[in-house]
Homo-oligomer: A and B are copies of this chain.
């Protein structure tokens, strides 16, 4: 019993923090982590936190585009900018775009209050499914910046709060394919919940990443008696051909969803009785009214697109007197990562498409 008081202090376990992470907020006091300017990024887990060794930051595309432009596309300058942000704020939160991204890393420590979790273990390779704008992050060094993809290899540590969500990276899929799927995991998971046997489902933006997964889940759920219709801006793309050839859609309509009248003109042929469920997966603004017009009275419009305007949706439905339930695409749903990854395993043609399009790194590379 000869250790000094200071030594003893060092090994006192940390207690439990706020489950939302407010105990990590340095400025301004009283804010939650996403709204905060600066977080405490001390790389030591509170009793209800998970500490990770970070390998890669997947900076979101709006943020990366802004940084790259400000740095004239120079990888070293981009690295310096990211390091400066993280040093200043304790998180990768782009002050211009307000956005972050996600990280890939390995679990280094699980706080004792979370020890009973069966979905994660020390040593697991995981992707964070909460934004970097609320994730305490410390970076020792930036190794490489991939200007084409926005992937930044770093040496550092990050903290996941008790309320934070994450997914173990699968062994059977390339990391980049898994990330591409996890990024839009909410869409297939919600379609799986909302679509029912025999229904007509319309997926707007069916040829995008989330759209393809949404079509596959819709096809599974509505069955032989049901119908899946996709709306795409261009015919003949690899995704459009995949959807048609493999029967993930019964019909593909080529129309610009920003042009409500053009979509309306296509409806008598494409959706004579309109859709029970409309899934908006388009990544451009101004498609709310077309989505509403495709939906039956008493039907549901699910807006997964982050380009959705709340007021355009609310006033659009009122303006055309449509009594539809419009749902905000929650990025999280219980089990969404599993559902999204399983969609690829259940549909080899879709896995093949994703691997061709997004795959680069092999699984479990280090």
Interface residues of A (CB under 8 A from B): 20, 22, 30-32, 34, 129-131, 134, 163-165, 186, 259-262, 264, 289, 297, 303, 306, 308-311, 313-334
User: Judging by beta carbons under 8 Å apart, are A134 and B22 in contact?
Assistant: no
Given contacts A261-B30, A308-B310, A314-B306, contact A163 B321 (CB under 8 A): yes
Minimum CB–CB distance from A333 to chain B (whole Å) comes to 5
Q: CB-CB < 8 A to A30: which residues of B?
A: 259, 261-262
Copies assembled: 2
User: Judging by beta carbons under 8 Å apart, are B22 and A319 in contact?
Assistant: no
User: Judging by beta carbons under 8 Å apart, are A317 and B289 in contact?
Assistant: no
Q: CB-CB < 8 A to A289: which residues of B?
A: 32
User: Judging by beta carbons under 8 Å apart, are B327 and A20 in contact?
Assistant: no
Per the bound structure, the CA–CA distance linking A32 and B22 in Å amounts to 46
Contact of A261 among B32, B297, B310, B321 (CB under 8 A): B32
Per the bound structure, the CA–CA distance linking A289 and B319 in Å amounts to 28
User: Judging by beta carbons under 8 Å apart, are B303 and A318 in contact?
Assistant: no
Per the bound structure, the CA–CA distance linking A326 and B327 in Å amounts to 6
User: Judging by beta carbons under 8 Å apart, are B330 and A131 in contact?
Assistant: no
Given contacts A20-B320, A259-B30, contact A315 B331 (CB under 8 A): yes
Q: CB-CB < 8 A to A330: which residues of B?
A: 314, 317-318, 322-326
Per the bound structure, the CA–CA distance linking A186 and B326 in Å amounts to 13
Question: Lowest 5 CB-CB distances: which A-B pairs, in order?
Answer: A318-B331, A326-B328, A310-B310, A318-B332, A165-B321
Q: CB-CB < 8 A to A131: which residues of B?
A: 315, 318-319
Per the bound structure, the CA–CA distance linking A311 and B62 in Å amounts to 14
Most chain B CB inside 10 Å of its own CB: which residue of A131, A326, A328: A328
User: Judging by beta carbons under 8 Å apart, are B314 and A329 in contact?
Assistant: yes
Per the bound structure, the CA–CA distance linking A309 and B327 in Å amounts to 13
Minimum CB–CB distance from A288 to chain B (whole Å) comes to 9
Q: CB-CB < 8 A to A321: which residues of B?
A: 130, 163-165, 332
Per the bound structure, the CA–CA distance linking A165 and B323 in Å amounts to 11
Minimum CB–CB distance from A258 to chain B (whole Å) comes to 10
Q: Would you give 13 A-B contacts (Cβ < 8 Å), ordered by A?
A: A22-B261, A130-B321, A164-B321, A306-B311, A306-B314, A314-B331, A317-B330, A318-B332, A321-B332, A323-B334, A325-B327, A326-B327, A328-B328
